């Protein structure tokens, strides 16, 4: 015998003695188990400890201006902050008056809202660039709630009347329609702010007269404290960009529809309930004969002026140091024309009316309204917070600094709570004004204080000059500012090309918000997004993998050419977690790709067993039985091991562990080993706790950190003719 053959024979005998290849083992760290009582005690002690350093850190974290103001670079930043604050203040004057119309409020309260929000966010916000004020979608939501409560209270729909409603005024002064509208909006704003702030308000601070509604307050504050303790700032991650965009576009259609009556000078009540958009258009067409020609002509002229000039501002924004405030020019011109032309007296135009100067004394919210508006306030709080955090993170990323989502929640919450005592309504970040601030050199929130000074000047001196301003002009300003949201319809083909699933979410959210109900659109969007995520795990399929040469690279055989399959070993990958909702789909897909369903084989065996009992010739039936039970092995006599790549499996629940146990047991009965490879620590822990390894039966717990290790082990195991081992 040649020496080479002798050496090969000796080598083969040595390999047989050594047994199957053992993969490289990693030594696990021993995790120290700390009793839950000690963990709880440590956390409570950390949260409740009191020291000068902790008090200082708490103040700095709660009031960010204390941290950044001492480091303010006056010479370098003051010009940009002053310029941006001045421009935004000028733009806010007409927009604040206009959005008051959308929220069913008098113009003065829009100015109050912008003034207080600018100051409070400067003190508490962490973003350097965003402008906090009125946002059209939130104003729409506030207006819908206000109009609903006015109707329930028995107030007439005509805003020019001051008839008293069915409101109990025994504990206070008589309240007309305008007064009650302010009360509803302020209470709604307060409640939304409480949702946003978290545990910042303590029940011990409540005055004694609140005891009448103590049960309502305890329930509200209990929910608020829970939200704060859970740090629900993370909730914004569940509101995707496509969802928020679709919601804003659908709400923009509703806003546009609600302003058409002012274009035409019609006195129509706001339509409530589902399908309000279609009902409003039907009402508009029915009342076209009552159009006020003066308001219609004014609206057309303002549109012809504002639309082209706003487009010019957008086109030349890179060359302009600051956008030209065409809205303010239009407001001034329209006010002068209405005043000297006596449009109200001569043509019956609907004007802004008396706008008082100064500030009104603070008043408490109407606590009895909270049960009626608590659900509406929650949706408003979530939308306002999501918009604010999205914009603040977008500009922070662009300019290279960090924002704290939970502090943003506190900031926008206090921007609602404190102003609500001064008859203000809900606020959030506003994209248009934020872009203006950024483009005009804003560096810090000092620009917000400059904006507040401009608004203060208007509140103290200039506000009464807008008495003759027609409401149709304000409606035009609102509609013109919807251009950005309405342009999204032109982006649908591009969105569909980039991601069809996101486009479907956008379309469903937009359609529901516009055609059914605004608040329902947000809920439907969240549910559709969640179902899309679940649907992706449901639609995942098992893929058979092949190896690229000798490299540690295994990819889908159906997607790439030149991949090689290993003799006797089939490698599969399931690209999703395995849990209760998709474990059946996982098994079905795996059995289909392997070409054998163990359950069907067992059923076939039971059927043949029944037939055998019915036949006399046991010899022939036994032979038939042997052929049937080994049909798989006769057809696939080379396959002895099934390797499952678990790297995409992020987690397993009890149903997922049981599914893997069922797969391993089923194939083991057919003589096929099942190996799990590249499992993360969470999956391994779930397998161990779920009883996947049976130590009594000697089932091995071997961890394969690469697919090559699993394949080598399977081949060496076959060469030794070993038993089936359950390994990882």
Task: Give the mean pLDDT of 521-547.
Answer: 85
Q: Give the C-alpha separation, 313 to 388, whole Å.
A: 25
Residue 224 has pLDDT above 90, yes or no: no
Q: How many helical (H) and strand (E) elements, i.e. helices and strands, does the chain have?
A: 30, 7
On the question of pLDDT at 635 being above 70, the answer is: no
Per residue in 484-532, pLDDT (tens digit) is 888 889 889 999 999 998 999 999 999 999 898 888 888 898 889 888 8
Residue pair 507/488 in contact by the 8 Å Cβ criterion:
no
pLDDT band at residue 338 using 50, 70 and 90 as cut-offs? very high
Q: Which of 217-226, 499-508, 583-592 has the lowest mean pLDDT?
A: 217-226
Average the pLDDT over 433-458 and give the result.
89
Sequence-ordered list of residues with C-beta below 8 angstroms from that of 244, at least 6 positions apart, any chain: 386, 387, 390
Give the span between the Cα atoms of 208 and 648, in whole angstroms.
Answer: 58
d(CA 632, CA 598): 10
| Sign, CA torsion 144/145/148/154 | negative
- Beta carbons within 8 Å of 179's beta carbon, 6+ residues apart: none
The larger pLDDT score, comparing residue 612 to residue 666, is at: 666
What 3-state class would DSSP assign to 470?
A: strand
Comparing 675 with 723, which gets the higher pLDDT? 675
Q: Which residue has the higher pLDDT, 725 or 338?
A: 338
Of 349 and 40, which is predicted with more confidence? 349
Alpha-helical (H) ranges within 131-176 are 136-152
pLDDT band at 700 (very low <50, low <70, confident <90, very high): low
Helix (H) or strand (E) holding 131: strand 131-133
Closest CA to 717 of 707, 705, 725: 725
pLDDT score of 617 = 53
Q: Measured between alpha carbons, how far is residue 720 from residues 25, 238, 713 in Å?
A: 21, 53, 11
- Using pLDDT thresholds of 50, 70 and 90, give the confidence band for residue 451: very high
Q: Residues 6 or more apart from 121 whose CB is under 8 A from it?
A: 130, 132, 411, 412, 415, 445, 448
Q: Pick 41 or 357 by higher pLDDT.
A: 357
Task: Give the separation between CA 374 and CA 355, rounded to whole angstroms.
Answer: 30
Per-residue pLDDT band at 208 (split at 50, 70, 90): very low
- % of the chain residues with pLDDT over 70: 80
The whole-number pLDDT of residue 688 equals: 84
* CA pair distance 516, 528, nearest whole angstrom: 16
Q: What is the mean pLDDT of residues 104-125?
A: 92
Residues 696, 633: Cα–Cα separation, whole Å: 29
What CA–CA distance (Å, rounded) separates 346 from 589? 77
Alpha-carbon gap, residue 409 to 22, rounded angstroms: 54
| Phi, psi for 561 (deg, rounded to 5) | -95, 160
Lowest mean pLDDT among 30-39, 217-226, 556-565: 217-226
Residue 250's alpha-carbon distances to 47, 242, 245, 500, 509, in angstroms, are 43, 12, 9, 19, 7
pLDDT of 435 above 90: no
**pLDDT reported for residue 276:** 86
Q: Which of 30-39, 116-125, 308-317, 601-610 has the highest mean predicted lDDT (pLDDT)?
A: 116-125
Secondary structure percentages of the chain, helix, strand, coil, to 5: 65, 5, 30
pLDDT of residue 352 exceeding 90: no
pLDDT for position 721? 55
- 541-612+630-719, what's its fold? Transcription Regulator spoIIAA (3.30.750)
Q: Mean per-residue pLDDT for 450-477?
A: 91
Residue 430, phi then psi, degrees to nearest 5: -120, 125
Q: Please, which pLDDT band fits residue 202 given cuts at 50, 70 and 90?
A: very low
Q: Within 10 A of 418 (CB to CB), how many other CB atoms are there?
A: 18
How would residue 708 be classed by pLDDT, with cut points 50, 70 and 90? confident
- Residue 210: the pLDDT is 44
Measured CA to CA, the distance from residue 409 to residue 393 in angstroms comes to 13
Alpha helices, DSSP H, located in 348-430: 370-399, 405-420
CA 249 vs CA 260, 284, 483, 712: distances in Å:
17, 21, 10, 57
Contact 595, 601 (CB under 8 A): no
> What is each CA distance from 356 to 106, 109, 345, in whole angstroms?
10, 10, 21
Asked if 199 and 229 touch (Cβ cutoff 8 Å), the reply is yes
Residue 6 reports pLDDT greater than 70: no
Tokens 């032979």 locate to 623
DSSP state of 355: -
Euclidean distance between CA atoms 592 and 574, whole angstroms: 13
Range of lowest pLDDT (161-170, 587-596, 660-669)? 161-170
pLDDT attached to residue 10:
41
The two structure tokens encoding residue 516: 């059914």
Going by DSSP bridges, is the β-strand pair 673-677/569-574 parallel, antiparallel, or unpaired?
unpaired
Complete edge-to-edge strand list for the sheet that includes strand 569-574: 554-556, 542-547, 569-574, 641-645, 673-677
pLDDT band per the 50, 70, 90 thresholds, residue 407: confident
Is residue 61's pLDDT more than 90?
Answer: no
pLDDT score at 728:
52
248-269 residue pLDDT tens:
889 889 889 988 999 999 888 8
Q: Which residues of 84-99 are buried (b: 16+ CB within 10 A; e: fewer)?
A: bbbbbbbbbbbbbbbb
Please state the separation of Cα 85 from the chain's center in Å: 30
pLDDT band at 723 (very low <50, low <70, confident <90, very high): very low
Choose between 721 and 273: higher pLDDT: 273
State the average pLDDT for the chain: 80
The pLDDT assigned to 365 comes to: 87
Q: Is the pLDDT of residue 303 over 60?
A: yes
The residues spanned by each domain of the chain are: 66-534, 541-612+630-719
Given pLDDT bands bounded at 50, 70 and 90, which one contains residue 154?
confident
Section 30-55 average pLDDT: 70
Confidence of residue 164 (pLDDT cuts 50, 70, 90): very low
Which among 546, 543, 536 has a CA at the least distance from the CA of 573? 543
């Amino acid at each position: 015998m040649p020496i080479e053959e002798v050496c090969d024979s000796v080598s083969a005998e040595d390999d047989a003695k050594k047994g199957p290849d053992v993969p490289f083992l990693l030594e696990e760290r021993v995790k120290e188990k700390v009793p839950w009582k000690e963990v709880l005690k440590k956390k409570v002690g950390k949260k409740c400890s009191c020291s000068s350093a902790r008090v200082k850190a708490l103040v700095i974290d709660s009031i960010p201006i204390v941290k950044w103001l001492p480091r303010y670079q006056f010479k370098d930043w003051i010009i940009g902050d002053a310029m941006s604050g001045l421009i935004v203040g000028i733009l806010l004057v007409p927009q604040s008056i206009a959005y008051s119309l959308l929220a069913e409020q008098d113009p003065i309260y829009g100015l109050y809202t912008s003034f207080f929000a600018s100051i409070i966010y400067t003190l508490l916000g962490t973003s350097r660039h965003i402008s906090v004020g009125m946002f059209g979608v939130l104003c729409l939501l506030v207006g819908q709630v206000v109009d609903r409560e006015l109707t329930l209270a028995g107030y007439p729909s005509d805003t020019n009347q001051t008839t008293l409603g069915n409101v109990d005024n025994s504990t206070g002064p008589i309240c007309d329609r305008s007064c009650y509208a302010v009360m509803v909006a302020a209470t709604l704003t307060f409640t939304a702010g409480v949702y946003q702030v978290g545990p910042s308000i303590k029940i011990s601070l409540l005055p004694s007269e609140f005891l009448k509604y103590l049960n309502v307050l305890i329930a509200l504050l209990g929910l608020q404290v829970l939200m704060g303790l859970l740090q629900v700032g993370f909730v914004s991650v569940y509101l995707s960009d496509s969802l928020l965009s679709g919601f804003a576009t659908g709400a923009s259609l509703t806003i546009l529809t609600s302003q058409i009556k002012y274009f035409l000078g019609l006195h129509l009540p706001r339509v409530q309930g589902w399908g309000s958009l279609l009902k409003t258009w039907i009402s508009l067409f029915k009342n076209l004969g009552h159009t006020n020609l003066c308001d219609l002509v004014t609206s057309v002229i303002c549109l012809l002026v504002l639309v082209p000039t706003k487009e010019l501002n957008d086109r030349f924004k890179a060359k302009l140091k600051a956008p030209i405030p065409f809205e303010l020019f239009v407001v001034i011109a329209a006010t002068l024309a209405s005043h000297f032309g006596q449009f109200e007296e001569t043509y019956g135009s609907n004007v802004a009316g008396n706008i008082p100067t100064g500030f009104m004394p603070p008043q408490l919210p109407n606590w009895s309204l909270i049960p009626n508006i608590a659900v509406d306030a929650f949706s408003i709080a979530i939308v306002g917070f999501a918009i604010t955090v999205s914009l603040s993170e977008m500009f922070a990323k662009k300019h290279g600094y960090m924002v704290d989502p939970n502090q943003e929640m506190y900031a926008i919450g206090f921007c609602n709570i404190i102003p609500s005592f001064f008859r203000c309504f809900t606020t959030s970040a506003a994209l248009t004004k934020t872009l203006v601030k950024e483009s005009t050199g804003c560096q810090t929130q000092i620009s917000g204080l400059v904006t507040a000074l401009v608004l203060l000047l208007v509140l103290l001196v200039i506000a009464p000059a807008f008495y003759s301003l027609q409401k149709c002009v304000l409606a035009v300003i609102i509609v013109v500012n919807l251009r950005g949201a309405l342009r999204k319809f032109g982006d649908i083909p591009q969105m569909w090309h980039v991601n069809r699933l996101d486009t479907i979410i956008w379309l469903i959210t937009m359609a529901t918000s516009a055609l059914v109900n605004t608040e329902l659109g947000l809920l439907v969007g969240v549910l559709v997004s969640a179902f899309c995520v679940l649907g992706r795990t449901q639609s995942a399929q098992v893929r058979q993998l092949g190896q690229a040469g000798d490299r540690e690279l295994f990819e889908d055989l159906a997607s790439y050419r030149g991949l090689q399959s290993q003799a006797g070993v089939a490698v599969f990958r399931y690209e999703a977690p395995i849990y209760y909702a998709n474990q059946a789909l996982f098994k079905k897909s795996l059995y289909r790709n392997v070409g054998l369903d163990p359950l069907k084989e067992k059923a076939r065996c039971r059927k043949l067993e029944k037939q055998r009992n019915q036949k006399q010739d046991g010899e022939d039936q036994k032979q038939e039985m042997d052929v049937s039970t080994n049909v798989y092995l006769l057809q696939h006599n080379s396959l002895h091991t099934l390797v499952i790549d678990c790297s995409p499996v992020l987690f397993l629940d009890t149903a997922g562990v049981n599914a893997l146990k069922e797969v391993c047991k089923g194939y083991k009965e057919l003589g096929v080993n099942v190996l799990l490879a590249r499992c993360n620590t969470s999956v391994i822990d779930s397998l161990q706790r779920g009883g996947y390894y049976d130590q009594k039966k000697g089932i091995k717990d071997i961890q394969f950190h690469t697919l090559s290790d699993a394949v080598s082990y399977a081949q060496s195991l076959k060469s030794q003719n070993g038993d089936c081992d359950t390994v990882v």
